[in-house]
Amino acid sequence: MRKKLSVLLTVLFCFFLFAGYQGNAQNELAFTKYHNYSEVQNALKSLNQANSSTTAIHTIAESPGGHAVTILEIGKNLNGKPAVFVGANFEGITPLSTEGALYLAKMILDSTKYQENVKWYIMPSPNPDAAENYFASVVFKKSSNDMAINNDNDDITDEDGFDDLNKDGFITQMRVKHPEGTHKAAEKDPRVLERADAKKGERGEYKIYTEGIDNDGDGQYNEDGPGGVNIGLNFPHLFNNYLKESGLYPG
């Protein structure tokens, strides 16, 4: 929760701080929607081409899903000067922070005063595999990259993920009648489920699952879907080394 609040406050700070500046036509970028991976890369290339004497694009890695992880360097000729690194959307589930990073890059390049005596490294999409899921035909929350991880330790990877059963383009939740159910329909509105209270003599009728089926027949639902490592976990703050998403060499 603290991490999410920190990201939100950082983005809001940037927008409020720079809301009054006037843009430069040569660095024109539209912020009317969230940018997907290809659009982010094209935006960086456009900024680089319009400011080739002061900027450079570096590819520092390739994601397991085959996406280039890129950084925009601003002030490439400033040697021996302090540098600021701006990384956004490490978990791939906050597209607004990617927009904030692009907006910041444009703002810096629109005014030479932000380029004096300081070098900038801006990385708007360090986890492109997860970020692309926001634009998928079936949308669900995914913060890991596309590296295959055996979540249920059965020698098979990625064999039991979510299924869009009602074909609405979203992975939501579903209720399933079960003799060991934990929830019951609410009296005032049976569309709503509430946890059964055994102390009051209540008995559960349903179990709640994420939308999908038991693809591998092991009695579990959606326990081993696509991906991966959440690179947003590989930092000292709020770090858990025992999570599958932390990768083989966490920390």
- The answer to whether the CB of 251 falls within 8 A of the CB of 234 is yes
Residue 27 exposure: Cα atoms within 13 Å on the Cβ side: 19
What span, in angstroms and rounded, lies between the C-alpha atoms of 188 and 166? 26
Looking at the domain covering 2-133, what would its CATH class be? alpha beta
Query: Measuring CA to CA, which residue among 60, 58, 53 is closest to residue 75?
Result: 53
Q: Find the angle CA(122)-CA(128)-CA(100) to the nearest 5 degrees.
A: 40
Q: What is the pLDDT of residue 167?
A: 84
Q: pLDDT for 137-191, tens place per residue?
A: 877 778 888 877 766 566 666 556 677 788 888 888 888 899 999 999 999 999 9
- The answer to whether the CB of 228 falls within 8 A of the CB of 64 is yes
| Residues facing 102 on adjacent strands | none
Q: pLDDT for 192-216, tens place per residue?
A: 999 999 999 999 999 988 888 777 6
State the Cα torsion 142-143-147-149 to the nearest 10°. Answer: -80
Query: Measuring CA to CA, which residue among 243, 231, 241, 233 is closest to residue 61?
Result: 231
Identify the residue with better confidence: 23 or 194.
194
Here the tokens at position 228 are: 């991966």
Strands 55-62 and 68-74: antiparallel
Q: 């629109």: which residue's tokens?
A: 110
> What is residue 32's three-state secondary structure?
coil
> Which amino acid appears at position 130 of this protein?
A
| Residues facing 55 on adjacent strands | 74
Residue 33 binned pLDDT confidence (cut-offs 50, 70, 90): very high
Query: Measuring CA to CA, which residue among 124, 100, 96, 93 is closest to residue 227?
Result: 93
What span, in angstroms and rounded, lies between the C-alpha atoms of 116 and 234? 32
> Where are the domains positioned within the chain?
2-133
Average pLDDT across the chain, whole number: 82
